[in-house]
Amino acid sequence: MLRFVQSCLNSGAVQGVFGNRWNARLQIGVRSLMIAAAVAFTQSAEHALAVILPLVINTTTSTPLLVDDFESPAAPGNPVAATGSWSLSESGGGTIDNSTAQAFEGSQSVRVVRAGGGFSRLDGNFATQTPGNVLHAQFMVYVTSPLGEFLPNILLFGPGDTSPLSMTPADAPGGGTGVDSIRLAVGNFSSFNFSTTLFSAFQTNEWQKWEMIHTVGSNTATFVIDGISDTFTNVATTSFDHLAFVGGANGSQEYFIDAAVFVEPPALPVPEPSALALATLGLVGLGLKARRGQRTTEHA
């Protein structure tokens, strides 16, 4: 509406009524109103609501299975999840701890460290999920450089570490030396898929969203890194009951885990038509009054 008023002020008819001088002042007033509206829009956008996403959710029933923001209480040491539970194991210098060095949301994240032959593992446990249920695991990952093989290693497991779905950087057979793909393990590690598509999206020293999407008991699974996905067949799963973040005994390196968030779009304030109309009429009234005063002075 303000743009409409401004276009009217630019018309020859309005300029004839008010004159160029007062028409310019009215245009300044209208532009001020437009700036105020833009500021209100920006302030509203700054108050967008960020919602912590479940680390694992059953999308068939819309049931969160594992939820933690890794803030309070602290996850490692005495791990407590808002939904589900944590267990951890450390050996040979491998550690799992809190870190304020990196955080995607809040003030801290979980750091998974492997040191030489050390091993570390953080398991998020949830109710056993049976065939037909669709699981969606989603979390933020920050991998420090230089890139090493098999770290991070992130897995969805069935009871007793059976039927895994695994995502980890690896050197594909025949691919030369060095990490060149994301290895996806299925069937108790009896077979492997290597994805260069996912590896093309993989970066070190920045937060990235990793996802696993799978219908329990089906033969396909979809893996995602920052919106880039790859789907594989010949997947053999029967049930799932925990998500594992592993730092395997293969060199020294660390990575960070944090919860993903969904930023809910803010409700944009819509100016009342009556308020805009009154403001516009006020500007026009001021212009008419000023114009009438100018004519009186000219005829005195």
d(CA 221, CA 210): 14
pLDDT score recorded for residue 125: 95
Q: Where are the domains of the chain?
A: 1-41+276-289, 50-263
- Among candidate residues 86, 108, 10, 83, the one with its CA nearest the CA of residue 243: 86
Radius of gyration of the chain (CA): 30
pTM for the complete prediction? Answer: 0.72
139 bridge partner residues? 210
Taking residue 138's Cβ as centre, other Cβ atoms within 10 Å add up to 18
**Half-sphere exposure of residue 254, counting CA atoms within 13 Å on the CB side?**
16
In the block, tokens 């700054």 appear at 46
Amino acid (1-letter code) at residue 66: L
Amino acid (1-letter code) at residue 238: T
Q: What is the pLDDT of residues 192-230, one digit of tens each?
A: 889 999 999 999 999 999 999 999 999 899 999 999 999
pLDDT score recorded for residue 40: 46
Whether domain 50-263 has CATH 2.60.120.200: yes
pLDDT score recorded for residue 147: 79
pLDDT score recorded for residue 70: 86
User: Residue 6, SS3?
Assistant: helix
Q: What is the pLDDT of residues 84-117, one digit of tens each?
A: 998 888 888 888 888 888 899 888 899 998 887 7
Could you say which residues of the chain have pLDDT below 50? 1-5, 9, 13-14, 17-18, 22, 33, 35-46
d(CA 263, CA 215): 26
Tokens in use for 185?
A: 């393990």
DSSP 250: S
Tokens in use for 226?
A: 């920052």
